[in-house]
């Protein structure tokens, strides 16, 4: 790994450029040049291929601006915060846990603000910029706030994640998927987090791209139909037990991870496997990846379980690039409560079941005389209670002898006003709130790690510096060179370029400099195939194809180029 060399080439050749450069730039933003944008799009298309074509999920696209109510329900308004501190001397602001970690070399993300304040005092941690004293730590909400509409009376936020747009479409999505679980919906797009002090380039952005899948499934059945196909795959897992007891990373099969309770379900394990498969096919090897389970103190407010896929970098250490969480029913329950919409699904049983339940009905002899003209509305309220509400009412009546009901007036309902009855009834199904398992991919970070681990240089034993991209994602698939730009060779090269573009390939035509320099330029940006048009081309209608990695060459007829290139790009 060599961040500096890689990054210099990435900037020079049009992968990553600083945003707003002519206005001195703004931290936390980056521009993708022509090759960077192409590489990013190819990574996203590969993701779509894996999750849409491969897993049968469907893609939606929602707004990037969300009303406050949505994000209040999701917990982001109250919980989407980072610990912040300010220098009392120079006024610079910092993310508190980061400067503490830099000072003492320990992860403090799971600590309370008061605990971090104590560490700052005990270790005499000062402002990294000027050495001044630091203020007490407070929570800073990371969302970009905005106004919706000209009157400014509707508060909105730039979405902090793409997931919420899927959850609030649950009713429509469940109908689209014919009310059958499991089903998956995905969304790729921009998300926004107003980071306190982003200083890590493309690793920590204020505007970034996510690719997220929300897999809705039966809480009682988190098996996966493809699990048997991957049961023997080796996974490298850093569980809570491994981290808390300083043990070696687990090297176990998917089946062993399930049997030993290291990972809670087949579907969660399968998603870990898919993440690993995706990254390996991008060219990120196993030895720079780790799968780390969140510790209890760092688990998100919505998560039953969560694993991060982290990639090793020389510049930033271990970087989280994918999060895979079992979100339980948190999101659907929260949005159901805040919106007063039922976000559940009716699950029909294979066979009808006899179930025991408690019902409640008015004692008509006493009910009418007690409540007179109010009887019908009180009766309607009681008859519409859910099974759980009936049990809660019974418990309260039995313990207190009465129940206070608030409608348009206050009514005192006594034990003798109601009749509770235990019955058995045949039911064909039930309404359930699905659980959600979510793989969330940070596309920008994955792109950075792809650049880093695809970059080869003398330090890696190569005689040239170049990006050895997976052929599937290379931003330019083919370069076409005339040996010389004269005697008609240039025209033949242009004709081949046009035909290959029409065939769907991304093709570059380069006529500048010697053929050796053109090969070097193409290799540097990871072009897997180079085609040279020479004087023999005019005689026998063949060209030379050169492989980026092996540098082997072969003659191919122009009419066969499409099929040969397709085969080489597989």
Q: pLDDT exceeding 70 applies to what percent of the chain?
A: 100
Indicate if the pLDDT at residue 141 is higher than 80: yes
Query: Taking the model in full, what pTM does it have?
Result: 0.87
Length of the chain counted residue by residue: 570
Q: Map out the domains of the chain with their CATH numbers.
A: 3-80+142-330+437-445 (3.30.930.10), 82-141 (3.30.40.230), 349-430 (3.30.720.200), 476-569 (3.40.50.800)
pLDDT digits (tens, 9 = 90+) for 369-416: 999 989 999 999 998 998 889 999 999 999 999 999 998 889 999 999
Provide the pLDDT confidence category of residue 337 given band limits of 50, 70 and 90.
Answer: very high
For residues 419, 423, 429 and 434, what is the CA-based torsion angle, rounded to 10 degrees? 60
What is the pLDDT at residue 105?
87
Cis peptide before 440 (omega within 30 of 0): no
HSE-CB for 561 with a 13 A CA cutoff = 30
Contacts of range 563-568, beta carbons closer than 8 Å, 24 or more positions apart: 565/477, 565/478, 565/500, 565/505, 565/529, 568/471, 568/528, 568/529
Residue 217 contacts residue 181 (beta carbons within 8 Å):
yes
What is the pLDDT at residue 485?
83
* Cβ-count burial 45-55 (b if 16+ within 10 Å, e if not): ebbbebbeeee
Residue 300 contacts residue 81 (beta carbons within 8 Å):
no
Mean pLDDT of the chain: 94
HSE-CB for 529 with a 13 A CA cutoff = 26
Indicate if the pLDDT at residue 139 is higher than 70: yes
Q: Cα(383)–Cα(509) distance, rounded to whole angstroms?
A: 76
Residue 37 contacts residue 447 (beta carbons within 8 Å):
no
Q: Cα(419)–Cα(434) distance, rounded to whole angstroms?
A: 34
What would the two tokens of residue 335 be? 């949005």
pLDDT digits (tens, 9 = 90+) for 66-122: 999 999 999 999 888 889 999 999 999 999 998 999 899 888 877 889 999 999 999
Beta strand 466-467 with 455-456 is antiparallel
Q: Cα(563)–Cα(567) distance, rounded to whole angstroms?
A: 6
Give the residue carrying structure tokens 């790729």.
188
What would the two tokens of residue 13 be? 């050749």
- DSSP single-letter state for residue 463: S
Indicate if the pLDDT at residue 298 is higher than 90: no
Q: Cα(162)–Cα(74) distance, rounded to whole angstroms?
A: 12
For residue 168, which of 221, 219, 214, 222 has the smallest C-alpha distance? 214
Q: Cα(540)–Cα(254) distance, rounded to whole angstroms?
A: 55
pLDDT digits (tens, 9 = 90+) for 185-212: 999 999 999 998 888 889 999 999 999 9
What is the pLDDT at residue 453?
96
Give the residue carrying structure tokens 């104590």.
118
- Provide mean pLDDT across the span 420-429: 92
Terminal alpha carbon distance of the chain? 26
Give the residue carrying structure tokens 């994955």.
446
């Amino acid at each position: 790994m060599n961040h500096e060399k890689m990054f210099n080439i990435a900037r020079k050749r049009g992968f990553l450029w600083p945003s707003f450069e002519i206005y001195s730039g703004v931290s936390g933003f980056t521009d993708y040049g022509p090759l960077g944008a192409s590489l990013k799009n190819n990574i996203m298309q590969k993701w779509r291929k894996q999750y849409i074509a491969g897993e049968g999920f469907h893609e939606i696209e929602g707004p990037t601006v969300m009303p406050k109510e949505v994000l209040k329900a999701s917990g982001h308004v109250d919980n989407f915060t980072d610990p912040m501190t300010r220098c009392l001397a120079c006024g610079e602001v910092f993310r508190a846990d980061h400067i503490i970690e830099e000072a003492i070399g320990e992860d403090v993300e799971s600590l309370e603000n008061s605990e971090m304040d104590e560490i700052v005092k005990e270790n005499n941690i000062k402002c990294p910029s000027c050495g001044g004293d630091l203020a007490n730590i407070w929570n800073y909400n990371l969302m970009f706030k905005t106004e919706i509409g000209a009157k400014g009376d509707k508060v909105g936020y730039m979405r902090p994640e793409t997931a919420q747009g899927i959850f609030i479409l649950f009713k429509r999505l469940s109908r689209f998927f014919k009310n059958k679980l499991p089903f998956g919906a995905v969304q790729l797009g921009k998300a926004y987090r107003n980071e306190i002090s982003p200083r890590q380039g493309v690793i920590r952005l204020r505007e970034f791209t996510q690719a997220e899948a929300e897999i809705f499934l039966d809480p009682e059945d988190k098996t996966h139909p493809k699990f048997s196909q991957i049961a023997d795959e080796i996974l490298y897992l850093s569980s809570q037990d491994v981290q808390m007891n300083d043990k070696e990373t687990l090297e176990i099969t998917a089946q062993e991870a399930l049997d030993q309770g290291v990972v809670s379900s087949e579907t969660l394990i399968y998603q870990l496997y898919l993440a690993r498969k995706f990254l390996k096919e991008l060219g990120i090897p196993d030895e720079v990846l780790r799968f780390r389970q969140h510790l209890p103190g760092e688990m998100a407010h919505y998560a039953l379980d969560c694993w991060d896929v982290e990639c090793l970098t020389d510049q930033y250490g271990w970087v989280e690039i994918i999060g895979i969480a079992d979100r339980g029913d948190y999101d659907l329950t929260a949005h159901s409560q805040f919106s007063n919409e039922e976000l559940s699904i009716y699950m029909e049983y294979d066979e009808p079941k006899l179930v025991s339940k408690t019902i409640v009905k008015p004692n008509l002899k006493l009910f009418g005389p007690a409540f007179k003209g109010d009887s019908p509305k009180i009766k309607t309220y009681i008859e519409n209670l859910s099974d759980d509400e009936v049990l809660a009412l019974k418990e309260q009546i039995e313990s207190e002898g009465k129940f206070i009901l608030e409608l348009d007036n206050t009514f005192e309902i006594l034990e003798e006003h109601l009749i509770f009855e235990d019955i058995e009834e045949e039911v064909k199904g039930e309404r359930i709130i699905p659980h959600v398992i979510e793989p969330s991919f940070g596309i920008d970070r994955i792109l950075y790690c792809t650049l880093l681990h695809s970059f080869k240089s003398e330090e890696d034993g190569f005689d040239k510096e170049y990006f050895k991209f997976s052929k599937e994602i290379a931003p330019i698939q083919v370069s076409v060179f005339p040996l010389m730009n004269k005697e008609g060779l240039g025209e033949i090269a242009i004709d081949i370029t046009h035909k290959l573009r029409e065939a769907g390939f991304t093709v570059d035509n380069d006529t500048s400099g010697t053929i050796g320099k053109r090969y070097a330029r193409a290799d540097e940006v990871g072009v897997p195939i180079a085609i040279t048009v020479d004087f023999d081309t005019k005689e026998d209608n063949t060209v030379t194809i050169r492989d980026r990695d092996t540098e082997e060459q072969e003659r191919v007829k122009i009419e066969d180029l499409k099929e040969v290139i397709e085969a080489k790009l597989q």
